[in-house]
A and B are shown apart, each in its own frame.
Chain A
């Protein structure tokens, strides 16, 4: 038995493996409620992080031939990213708990020796009040760093702050 291989930063040149179409999780013809997720990533000086890889993974809707449930998008010079995907539904949590609809996020970038993991939740979901992960965060302001704002009928937006005031809650998984 040995321990898992050590992480190293993805560095500034990861775009060599990038396929921009991966940001569209509906490209294989997935049927369902099509939504847009936008966001920004900023550093401890509130400067945009413009060389990051943002990855999303959803346990709902379930992965299938038409829905990869995984996406990857670069941040642009303004630190912005944009995914097209399907709206997740609730999924089971520990014990009998239901998890509110959510999207898992990994942020990979130069200067991040390990990827950072967080979650995106949706504004105004009733299940947010009882979600077993959100409930672990006692501070209301901290909890709100995970809640994406609805900015259009089909679009939610999340600002991710790597460091400093209103630093996003990152998770050890």
Chain B
């Protein structure tokens, strides 16, 4: 394995949410008030963990447990992981978690009065191929209420965690579904200032990914931070 050590390019203004987002109440006591210290990218920021499918078993189908089908609308999600230069990120791990079709997480902290599904747990893990493509199968997660403000509901969404190949590329995000009327009301989705950056969090319905008489297909691509052309001086 080659360890890349070039530093990453700076974050583009407006493309990331502000940690201080008053409409999302949980940020109030949790966002730092001091400005973040800008530090040079050293070997610590430029390198990162390597997860292999051999050691971290893939879970590419969330829609079946113990051979039994989960309730809900079966979906296929497919896309690519690339960096800001469009370069594929091969063999990288994607962690996936979501609510069931009724909008309930199989998690002790979720007290929403919607049914659990004995055939759905809601965690997955896939790896990109040599060209950066990934795919998994699931069911469409339901919307669920939360207590951010009166009558607040999260839009349908799937949570993702990606590592890339450098610590500074770490990405935790959520994927939304096209046409969801709750998007216009959701302070988490709306926390991304730039409209285009925000709308890239919405998957695209894709008839080519859709499997006849079996599952609807959605396309969703991830872009991780790109590296500068020149490696670290000390590398």
Contact = CB atoms under 8 A, between A and B. Distances in A.
Task: Answer whether A and B are interacting partners.
Answer: yes
Contacts of B39: 133, 136, 171-173
A118 to B, nearest CB: 9
Interface stretch (B12-20, B63-71, B177-185): B12-20
Contact of A3 (B15, B38, B45, B161): B15
A163 B29 contact: yes
B161 A163 contact: no
Contact of A5 (B47, B86, B173): B173
Contacts of A163: 29-33
B211 interface: no
A172 B44 CA distance: 13
A9 B171 CA distance: 10
B212 interface: no
Identify whether the interface residues of A are mostly helix, strand, loop, or mixed: loop
Contact of B234 (A57, A92, A106): A92
Nearest to B86: A1
Contacts of B174: 8-9, 11
Interface of B: 8, 11-12, 15-19, 21, 24, 26-34, 36-45, 47-50, 84-86, 95-97, 99, 105-107, 109-110, 121-123, 125, 159, 161, 167-168, 170-174, 188-189, 191-192, 197-198, 200-201, 222-226, 232-235
Interface of A: 1-17, 43-45, 47, 49, 51, 55, 57-59, 63, 68-70, 91-96, 99, 102, 104, 106, 108-117, 119, 132-133, 136-137, 142, 162-164, 167-173
